Amino acid sequence: MAGPADIELAAVTKLYGSTTAVDSIDLKIPAGTYCCLLGPSGCGKTSTLRMIAGHETVSDGDILLGDTHINDLPPARRGTAMMFQSYALFPHLNCVDNVAFSLKLKGVAKPERRAKAMELLRLVQMDKYAERLPAQLSGGQQQRVALARALITDPSALLLDEPLSALDPFLRVKMREELKRLQRRLGISFIHVTHGQEEAMALADLVVVMNNGRIAQAGTPREVFNHPRDAFVARFIGGHNVLARSIGGVEKQFAVRTDRIRILPPNSATNGVNSLAGQVRLVEYQGPMVHLRLASPGVDEFTVAVTEQAYFAAPFGEGDTVTAAWNDDDMHPLAA
Amino acid sequence: MTARTTTIVTERREGTPSRRFNWGRVTDALAPYLQVAPLTLTFAVFLLVPIVTIVVVSFWDYDSIRVIPDFILLNYEELLTSSVTWRIYLNTLKYAALTWALTLGIGFTVAYFVAFHVKSLTWQITLFMICTIPFWTSNIIRMISWIPFLGRNGILNSTLISMGVIDQPLEFLLFSDFSVVLAFVHLYVLFMVVPIFNSMMRIDRSLIEAAVDAGASGWQVLTNVIIPLSKPGIAIGSIFVVTLVMGDFITVRLMSGGQSASVGLMMANEISLLQYPAAAANAVVLLGVVLIMVALMLRIVDIRKEL
């Protein structure tokens, strides 16, 4: 293919009967971007990916890859390649033949296509397992082979459908690093669907948070984390409390990062500070931080993340009543 | 198991120095044999005993009124040196090959259609049930019902004549190889459809998407993904059809009008003439031939993952 290229979605819509899965989304993914489509199940992220891949028809709108309008092109002629959630390796073919599959379809001679496939297997460090069948490989190994198979077509963009969800947590972190390294090395865009915000933040140059078929917010992980646009994004991205404050008779929502909240010593004055008194419902030790869940009237969920050091300097238990406080600067206003 | 048995034994020895008979140990040792006993017994009674009997009888002597226990090779000698035997075997193999090819073609197409082109499960089940409707009547009735349709003055011929397509009734329609193979295909095609359909339903749909993503055309998906992954079903269906046709005698007799022979028919004739040892020798040879055919099919396709 023509090397890295921008991807642009313009008013892309997907209808299943009368249900709208993707509702007129606009998105531009510059060439060479690691983009994560993040959202809860049913938010339209997978439908969006499948429309880009060409495995789902576009009900309305346009998809462009570079200067090419790819709406009506078959998957293999779009310049994209897809890696499937369950890897979808052909069980009757060994690793080399799985990787060489698309070359076989094009009629490339056997020695030539096997040589090229071996090259890609080396790229994903699977050359030692070339003759094995998929059933003889672990989940992580199967994924590497699937990656090699997707990359053999020299795509301008690689589309990954929840690629890490089938792996155990330890392997997930390891494969995450490798995906990122590979993306940097190849210089093409990776579009990665996930419902894990941690995964998205670790990997993405561009996080696209989706909800109800729309893009709730798109930006760098840091932008999204520090400036969530609305209550949904703040809650989904994690690490935030969503509070409602009545200002001049108008109810407004704010997000406060859980790690910007401190617990006041007992009997401190609370005049002129943002504060909230509540009963400790849960103390969760997480290593560097200790998470406290407070129950307070009028607030559905309130979490405070204090450093381990601060917590153990003045510990308290579940059932104690404490006062949490934060600065005005840390109150981030949310769109309704 | 062993560890547990040992501890029990030691405890007993310590508790009762008089070394009482240890029932626990006996039942532990017997348990696996008792567990396989029902299956072993069933196989012995319904498979082993009949086959051994046939093999034994095949070496016996006979005359026109009785069978004589003996050990002679004459039955086999007569069978294998007669040109009639070879002709009949060839004829039976021809029926098997034709029926196999046709049931495979039809069975694969039907299974493919229901598995991949029918999207809703309800419709898949409905169409599948429709395929089984012919099986609600007996084989004989299904065969006989072809006769008024295909006969010299049957429905097909009279329709074609009245439409002006032909002047003379078509003679090959009934009591011919055509009608025999037609009946076989009609009788046994479902034995091909079911296992192939079963194999196809196990194919992960994302494999087809992956193939399309790699640039496969519809035909390439079929030849590179669906056919290789349907092979176990094809093998199982082929075993059913080939063994059924090789052993059949009633279809050949009814549909060929007695003008054609098969190995099964040859045996049936021998039995009706009370030549049991000859029929037994024939049966042993047929069993050998069919087993070789099955072994060859299993060599080509590994069906273990399907069972």
The string of pLDDT tens digits covering residues A42-55 is 899 999 999 999 99
Cα–Cα distance measured from residue A101 to residue A145, given in angstroms and rounded to the nearest whole number = 12
Closest chain B CA to residue A54: B213
Q: Which of A3-7, A96-100, B44-48, B235-239 bottoms out in mean pLDDT, i.e. has the lowest?
A: A3-7
Using 50, 70 and 90 to split pLDDT, how confident is the model at B55? very high
Q: Return the number of CB contacts < 8 Å for A and B.
A: 59
Chain A residues with beta carbon closer than 8 angstroms to that of B228: 92
Residue A335, in any domain of the structure: no
pLDDT of amino acid B19: 60
pLDDT of amino acid B1: 39
Same domain, residue pair A13 and A100: yes
CA nearest A49: which of A97, A1, A84, A77?
A: A84
Q: Which of A108-112, B33-37, B199-203, B299-303 bottoms out in mean pLDDT, i.e. has the lowest?
A: B299-303
**pLDDT tens across B58-102, in order?**
999 998 888 889 899 999 999 999 999 999 999 999 999 999 999
Chain A residues with beta carbon closer than 8 angstroms to that of B214: 76, 101-102, 105, 149, 153
Same domain, residue pair A73 and A193: yes
Q: What sections of A124-230 are H helices per DSSP?
A: 139-151, 169-186, 197-203, 221-226
**pLDDT tens across B1-39, in order?**
344 444 444 444 444 455 667 777 778 888 889 999 999
Residue-range domain boundaries for chain B: 84-306
pLDDT of amino acid B3: 43
Residue A336, in any domain of the structure: no
Chain B residues with beta carbon closer than 8 angstroms to that of A101: 211, 214, 224
Query: Which residues from B are below 8 Å from A when comparing CB atoms?
Result: 204, 206-207, 209-217, 220, 224-225, 228-229
DSSP code of A55?
S
pLDDT of amino acid B208: 93
pLDDT of amino acid B306: 57
Same domain, residue pair A159 and A39: yes
pLDDT of amino acid B307: 56
What mean pLDDT is predicted for residues A200-228?
Answer: 94
> Which of A88, A102, A106 shows the shortest C-beta gap to B207?
A88
Closest CA of chain B from A100, distance in Å = 10
Same domain, residue pair A218 and A263: no
Q: Which of B145-154, B177-186, B196-205, B212-221 bottoms out in mean pLDDT, i.e. has the lowest?
A: B145-154
Strand A206-211 to A60-65 pairing: unpaired
Closest chain A CA to residue B215: A76
> Which of A85, A86, A105 shows the shortest C-beta gap to B214?
A105
Same domain, residue pair A174 and A95: yes
Cα–Cα distance measured from residue A53 to residue A191, given in angstroms and rounded to the nearest whole number = 10
Cα–Cα distance measured from residue A157 to residue B112, given in angstroms and rounded to the nearest whole number = 34
pLDDT, averaged across chain B = 87
pLDDT of amino acid B18: 53
Closest CA of chain B from A190, distance in Å = 16
What mean pLDDT is predicted for residues A8-30?
Answer: 93
Q: Which residue has the tokens 């094995």?
A: A132
Same domain, residue pair A159 and A125: yes
Residue A246, in any domain of the structure: no
SS (H, E, C) chain A: CCCCCCEEEEEEEEEECCEEEEEEEEEEECCCCEEEEECCCCCCHHHHHHHHHCCCCCCEEEEEECCEECCCCCHHHCCEEEECCCCCCCCCCCHHHHHCHHHHHCCCCHHHHHHHHHHHHHHCCCHHHCCCCHHHCCHHHHHHHHHHHHHCCCCCEEEEECCCCCCCHHHHHHHHHHHHHHHHHHCCEEEEEECCHHHHHHHCCEEEEEECCEEEEEECHHHHHHCCCEHHHHHHHCCEEEEEEEECCEEEEEEEEHHHCEECCCCCCCCCCEEEEEEEEEEEECCCEEEEEEEECCEEEEEEEEEHHHHHHCCCCCCCEEEEEECHHHEEECEC
* Mutation site for B-interface testing, chosen from A90, A133, A165 by largest number of B Cβ within 10 Å: A90
Cα–Cα distance measured from residue B268 to residue B105, given in angstroms and rounded to the nearest whole number = 31
Q: Report the domain count for chain A.
A: 2
Domain that holds residue A287: 258-329
Element containing residue A217 per DSSP (H, E): strand A214-219
What mean pLDDT is predicted for residues B234-252?
Answer: 93
Same domain, residue pair A189 and A295: no
Last residue of a domain, one of A187, A216, A233: A233
Name the CA dihedral angle for A24, A28, A33, A38, rounded to a multiple of 10 degrees: -20
Q: Which of A247-251, B239-243, B290-294 bottoms out in mean pLDDT, i.e. has the lowest?
A: A247-251
Cα–Cα distance measured from residue B262 to residue B246, given in angstroms and rounded to the nearest whole number = 8
- Indicate whether this complex's ipTM tops 0.95: no
Report percent pLDDT > 70 for chain A. 99
Residue A314, in any domain of the structure: yes
Cα–Cα distance measured from residue A191 to residue A4, given in angstroms and rounded to the nearest whole number = 13
> Which of A82, A85, A92 shows the shortest C-beta gap to B213?
A82
Closest CA of chain A from B225, distance in Å = 7
Closest CA of chain A from B210, distance in Å = 6
Same domain, residue pair A152 and A267: no
Pair of tokens at residue A53: 């891949």
Cα–Cα distance measured from residue A42 to residue A193, given in angstroms and rounded to the nearest whole number = 12
pLDDT of A2 over the 60 cut:
no
Class of domain B84-306 (CATH, top level): mainly alpha
**pLDDT tens across A104-124, in order?**
999 999 999 999 999 999 999
Rounded to the nearest 5 degrees, what angle is found at the Cα of A164, between the Cα atoms of A258 and A99?
A: 155
pLDDT of amino acid B22: 75
What mean pLDDT is predicted for residues B137-162?
Answer: 87
pLDDT, averaged across chain A = 90
N residues, chain B: 307
**pLDDT tens across A295-307, in order?**
888 777 889 999 9
DSSP code of A5?
-
- CB B228 within 8 Å of CB B192: no
Q: What is the largest CA-CA distance in chain B?
A: 102
What mean pLDDT is predicted for residues B120-125?
Answer: 90
